[in-house]
Amino acid sequence: MTVSDATARDDLRDTHLGDAELHARLTRTWRTGSGWIERLSSVDHKVVGRRYIITAFVFLCLGGLSAVAMRLQLARPEAKLLGPDLYNQLFTMHGTTMMFLFAVPVMEAFAVYLVPLMLGTRNIAFPRLNAFSYWVYLFGGIFLWASFMLKIGPDAGWFAYVPLSGPDYSPGKRVDVWAQMITFTEVSALAVAIEIIVTVFKQRAPGMTLDRIPLFVWSMLVMSFLIIFAMPAVMVASTMLILDRLVGTHFFNPAEGGDSLLWQHLFWFFGHPEVYIIFIPATGMVSSIIVAFARRPMFGQLPLVLSLIAVGFLSFGLWVHHMFTTGLPQLGASFFTASSMLIAVPNGIQIFCWLATLWDGRPVFKTPLLFVLGFFFIFVIGGLSGVMVASVPLDAQVHDTYFVVAHFHYVLIGGAVFPLIGAVYFWFPKITGRMMSERLGKWNFWLAFVGFNVAFFPMHILGVQGMPRRVYTYLPEMGWGPLNLLSSAGALILFISFVLLLINVITSLSRGRLAGDNPWDAGTLEWATTSPPAPYNFSRIPFVTHREPLWDNRERLPVVTGLSVDSREVVSGTLTEAYPELRESSPEPSIWPLLAAIAVAGTFLGSIFTPWAVVWGSIPVAITLTGWFWPKGTPEDEK
Amino acid sequence: MRFRLTLAAASILFFTRDCLASQSTLDPQGPQAEHLARLFWIFTGVCTFVWVAVMIVLLAALIRRKAERPDPLQLEPATERRSAAVVGGAVVATLLTVVALTALSYLSQRQLFAREKPAVTIKVTGLQWWWDVRYETDSPDQTVTTANEIYVPVGEPVTVKLAANDVIHSFWVPSLFGKQDLIPGQENEIQFKASRPGVYRGQCAEFCGWQHAHMGLLVVALPSPLFQQWMKLQSAPAAPPQDPIRKKGAEIFESKACIMCHTVRGTSAGSRVGPDLTHFGSRQSIASATLPMSRGNIAAWVVDPQGIKPGVNMPNVSIAPEELDPLVSYLAGLQ
């Protein structure tokens, strides 16, 4: 006590405080208040991360419902349930929602929530930007779905190929809505990517050298770099599209010297890395779950990390395999066959390392591990059918057919959604403090596994039987009826499995068994703190001695001290060694990010109607940003 | 002569009735498609083998018995070394497989996309939602223009030049060859052969708007002499109607909105917006391989195109009940 009395208020350190007082003071410093304004001002990565996760799952639900509607339409030939107009809107909404509003954001969401905990820090870097990114994402998603409800949902596909999406063949506001929604989600994704990179580079707990960074964090780091390099391509493309549509430029109009294939190059230069933006974080989830449930450290950590990075690089050299049938020069196309097949090698390394870990592990068959095993079964099929579509001649037959639909659902649902659901079961106890039901979990898994395969395996056959994608119906004579009916039945089973997941989440929130800090006896830092974590994450910053710190320090985790308890501070360290360098102050809560997001959303929305919105909208944006960055007279400002 | 051709075509249709509805890549009817089907099965075989191998290892890893290990960090150096060797071997095997498949793919590609001097060159233009088909011939008076159906001689190389007038489409007849896109502002080209006489269905494979699902086409492969006869018949203008009902039908056709979009060579109808109807009645199907050719279907299509293909560019034209029969007779008689 004498120490704290003797020190100035804003320089009280955690060094000599007792646990109770430390907890009280840190809570006061870091907590999010309970008032409305305070909640909306929160910059806590856990609060924002939780909102992100819930929002992403709401969009999963909407995207899933649109898929169910499509499957009902396709269950019979020449069904009249949905017309071409609604069907085209639905498949556009499905793809757009799943890619832009669910898959990428949910991965970022888990990163926002878990990365600071795994790194042993108290908040994400740039927490206000984090709050801002969430609001922009939320507004973009609401904007898209509100348009759909108002019957102006985009209908040119999630890929929006020109000229179909151009001013001549998609009049009205539909495609503008789509293009502007891209801008919303890209802004938010870029913001999160930057936060994660800086957090991983600068805010790791002392002792967490590069080789002690958890694989989950590595995967999120690689994802973030992919976002930074891939997303600008689609932003350029969607901006050019909007300019073509609203300002009368002719970037994509061949009649005026534009080029319709330019869109495809730009879109897929983003679109292929996009797949890995979704898949790479899922590999991080797989790694976390395998280590925890195989009860041993990962076999081949270094090759796994190098594979992740290699996949990240290679993913930028594959985009042309979406364009093999556009009449590009043959030799050039075959280069992309080689690069597309080559990416099987680093992905293979990952699979083999996981298998080796399980081989020498002592597997505990809990729900998270079941989902990872389902991942192996499904994803390997998807990866191998990917080798097939990578071949120029084979792709000439299966491109744009249901074979490709099967392929990428095997990759994305098998490769990303199964690990993700496993991750929900795995980290739910940490996030809520309660366990999910194992019994329901097993039902959830088996229904999802059976439903998925029944829904999507027949699509391989339909594709080679000649059924093209994106058709709202098909003729009875084509003979595709029975397999489509089977597929629709599988889709319903898959849907039921998600309903079970929802029931499990809701009932476990109030009635689940209390989890304790580390219910799975896992080894990484997020399990060192309470469940749910206190607002300040760790009462003292851990000192990391091993890749699995909690397995290495069974009795007590070593900690470092010296951080202020009355003002928000995090430890900033060196890039490779995480040698602590600075006590960096972390921003206080602020309502400005929300106001700035509203201003930005208004600008984006208005620009659909008049280009002048960009001019007038810049005024409220400037005002809110000024408010956001206004110096508060904190000691750091004066330094 | 016309009778003989129709008879021969009808017998072909009869023998290939199953093919009429089929457009499967696994039912190849030409050397290119056969090559592709073989390639498909080779890749499928290799991939299945790899998948089964991975699943066996996974299963073995899960069920094999292992001694208790209270401390997860207590690893056996010998086991780690063995795992490293096995993983290293698996990576090398993956690399070799990938290289082999890439080589196979490349060699197939060279063979499949090699060009010969074509016996026939056809220009196909994709439009929302039908196919404009023109045969390139030496003299303009032999020009053949048709729609949604391509006649080719059996066993001879056929070059199809692909263009688009509105949005991107993709030309795909699975039992003959893989697909190739039709892109505004550029011209693509494919070449294929049909091994046997028959009718092969294809469909647009690139999403092109509302009626993407109903943008089919038929390829009819005929023995060379029959094909030549077909060409000759198609290059002729429409024969003027003889019987009074068809005459009346022609008057109705020419007085309605029909001529705003359609051509019937030899008459005053000369617009190029919609399909050329000069020999409409000789086709196997209507509305881009959506309905089989029959008087009933012609009537249904003429009366309510929007009900059959919602969003199609052909408007519902008001036709009085007593006008329908002559109009259908006229159209069906455009042989």
- Average pLDDT for residues A3-11, to the nearest whole number? 48
Residue B205, chain A, CB below 8 Å: the answer is: yes
Residue A88, chain B, CB below 8 Å: the answer is: yes
All residues of chain A having their beta carbon less than 8 Å from the beta carbon of residue B51 are 380-381, 384
Cross-chain Cβ contact B90/A348 below 8 Å: yes
> Is the pLDDT at A65 greater than 50, yes or no?
yes
Yes or no: is domain B244-332 CATH 2.60.40.420? yes
Residue B56, chain A, CB below 8 Å: the answer is: no
> Is the pLDDT at A127 greater than 80, yes or no?
yes
- Closest-CA distance, A340 to chain B, in angstroms, reads 9
Give pLDDT, residue B6: 55
Give pLDDT, residue B2: 44
pLDDT band at A22 (very low <50, low <70, confident <90, very high): very high
Give pLDDT, residue A2: 38
Total count of residues recorded for chain B: 335
- Average pLDDT for residues A8-15, to the nearest whole number? 70
- The secondary structure of chain A in percent helix, strand, coil, rounded to multiples of 5, reads 70, 5, 30
Which residues 258-317 of A are in CB contact (within 8 Å) with B?
Answer: 258-261, 295-297, 299-300, 303
- Which one of B83, B166, B168 has the shortest CB-CB distance to A299? B83
> Is the pLDDT at B17 greater than 50, yes or no?
no
Distance CA A470, CA A193 (A): 32
- Closest-CA distance, B243 to chain A, in angstroms, reads 36
ipTM of the predicted structure? 0.94
Distance of CA A508 to the CA centre of its chain: 24
Cross-chain Cβ contact A334/B105 below 8 Å: yes
Residue B186, chain A, CB below 8 Å: the answer is: yes
Q: Which DSSP state fits B175? A: T
CB B313 within 8 A of CB B274: yes
Chain A: residue whose CA lies nearest to B91 = A349
Number of neighbouring beta carbons within 10 Å of residue B67: 6
> Is the pLDDT at A520 greater than 90, yes or no?
yes
- Average pLDDT for residues A357-379, to the nearest whole number? 97
- Cβ-Cβ pairs closer than 8 A, A with B, add up to 257
Cross-chain Cβ contact B24/A465 below 8 Å: yes
Give pLDDT, residue A153: 93
- pLDDT digits 0-9 by tens, A410-430: 999 999 999 999 999 999 999
Distance CA A617, CA A623 (A): 10
- Which one of A254, A342, A384 has the shortest CB-CB distance to B50? A384
Residue B63, chain A, CB below 8 Å: the answer is: no
Cross-chain Cβ contact A470/B39 below 8 Å: no
Cα-Cα-Cα-Cα dihedral of B118, B120, B125, B126, to 10°? Answer: -80
Give pLDDT, residue B10: 55
Strand positions, DSSP E, A6-81: none
- pLDDT digits 0-9 by tens, B200-221: 999 999 999 999 999 999 999 9
Give pLDDT, residue B9: 57
Which one-letter amino acid corresponds to residue B32? Q
Give pLDDT, residue A636: 58
Per-position DSSP letters for A182-203, written without gaps between them: HHHHHHHHHHHHHHHHHHHHH-
pLDDT band at A454 (very low <50, low <70, confident <90, very high): very high
Number of neighbouring beta carbons within 10 Å of residue B252: 18
Residue B85, chain A, CB below 8 Å: the answer is: no
> Is the pLDDT at B15 greater than 50, yes or no?
no
> Is the pLDDT at B133 greater than 90, yes or no?
yes
Which residues 414-473 of A are in CB contact (within 8 Å) with B?
Answer: 464-466, 468-473
All residues of chain A having their beta carbon less than 8 Å from the beta carbon of residue B181 are 325-327
| Long-range Cβ contact pairs of A271-274 (< 8 A, separation 24 or more) | A271/A159, A271/A234, A271/A319, A271/A322, A272/A315, A272/A316, A272/A318, A272/A319, A272/A321, A272/A322, A273/A226, A273/A229, A273/A230, A273/A312, A273/A315, A273/A316, A274/A99, A274/A104, A274/A230
CA–CA distance from A464 to each of B23, B25, B32 (Å)? 9, 5, 15
- Average pLDDT for residues A332-336, to the nearest whole number? 91
Nearest to A102 by CA among A146, A61, A144: A61
B127-146 residues labelled b (16+ CB within 10 A) or e (exposed):
bbbbbbbbbeeeeeeeebbb
Kindly list the domain boundaries of chain B, sorted by start residue. 32-112, 120-223, 244-332
> Is the pLDDT at A1 greater than 60, yes or no?
no
- Whole-angstrom Cα Rg for chain B: 27
- Average pLDDT for residues A608-637, to the nearest whole number? 87
Can you name the residues that pair with A584 across neighbouring β-strands?
A: A570
Sign of the CA dihedral with A447 first, then A448, A450, and A451 last? positive
**Mutation site, B101, B189, B218, interface A, largest A CB count within 10 A:** B101
Cross-chain Cβ contact B172/A345 below 8 Å: no
Q: B120-223 with B244-332: one CATH topology? A: yes
- Closest-CA distance, B100 to chain A, in angstroms, reads 10
Give pLDDT, residue A17: 87
Pinpoint the alpha helices (H) of A366-437. Answer: 367-389, 392-398, 402-409, 418-432
- Which one of A330, A385, A523 has the shortest CB-CB distance to B113? A330
- Average pLDDT for residues A143-168, to the nearest whole number? 95
Which has the minimum average pLDDT: A264-273, A458-467, B137-146?
B137-146
- pLDDT digits 0-9 by tens, A276-309: 999 999 999 999 999 999 999 999 999 999 999 9
Nearest to B47 by CA among B100, B88, B112: B100
Residue B113, chain A, CB below 8 Å: the answer is: yes
**Which CATH number is B120-223 given?**
2.60.40.420
pLDDT band at B16 (very low <50, low <70, confident <90, very high): very low
- Closest-CA distance, B305 to chain A, in angstroms, reads 14
Distance CA A268, CA A465 (A): 27
Tokens of B331: 């159209």
Chain A: residue whose CA lies nearest to B181 = A326
- Which one of B75, B87, B179 has the shortest CB-CB distance to A352? B87
Q: Which DSSP state fits A436? A: P
- Average pLDDT for residues A574-602, to the nearest whole number? 94
CB B101 within 8 A of CB B146: no
Number of neighbouring beta carbons within 10 Å of residue A517: 15
- Closest-CA distance, B220 to chain A, in angstroms, reads 17
- Closest-CA distance, A488 to chain B, in angstroms, reads 18
Which one-letter amino acid corresponds to residue A229? F
CA–CA distance from A326 to each of A234, A243, A399, B187, B190 (Å)? 20, 25, 11, 10, 11
High-pLDDT (> 70) share of chain A, %? 97
Residue B306, chain A, CB below 8 Å: the answer is: no
- pLDDT digits 0-9 by tens, A307-330: 999 999 999 999 999 999 999 998
A367-394 residues labelled b (16+ CB within 10 A) or e (exposed):
bbbbbbbbbbbbbbbbbbbbbbbbbbbb
Cross-chain Cβ contact B186/A254 below 8 Å: yes
Q: What is the mean pLDDT of chain A?
A: 94
pLDDT band at B292 (very low <50, low <70, confident <90, very high): very high
Cross-chain Cβ contact B47/A385 below 8 Å: yes
Residue A172, chain B, CB below 8 Å: the answer is: no
Can you name the residues that pair with A468 across neighbouring β-strands?
A: A401
pLDDT band at B138 (very low <50, low <70, confident <90, very high): confident
- Which one of A260, A377, A393 has the shortest CB-CB distance to B185? A260
Cross-chain Cβ contact A471/B177 below 8 Å: no
Give pLDDT, residue A15: 84
Give pLDDT, residue B4: 46
> Is the pLDDT at A114 greater than 80, yes or no?
yes
Give pLDDT, residue B11: 52
Distance of CA B308 to the CA centre of its chain: 20
Q: What is the mean pLDDT of chain B?
A: 91
CA–CA distance from A300 to each of A61, A305, B72, B88 (Å)? 37, 9, 15, 11
- Which one of B23, B62, B79 has the shortest CB-CB distance to A360? B79
Burial (CB count <10 Å: 0-12, 13-18, 19+), residue B301: buried
Can you name the residues that pair with B134 across neighbouring β-strands?
A: B123, B145
All residues of chain A having their beta carbon less than 8 Å from the beta carbon of residue B180 are 325, 327, 396
All residues of chain B having their beta carbon less than 8 Å from the beta carbon of residue A392 are 105, 109
Distance CA A483, CA A474 (A): 13
Which one-letter amino acid corresponds to residue A207? G
Which one-letter amino acid corresponds to residue A137? Y
Residue whose entry in the numeric block shows the structure tokens 């994106």: A470
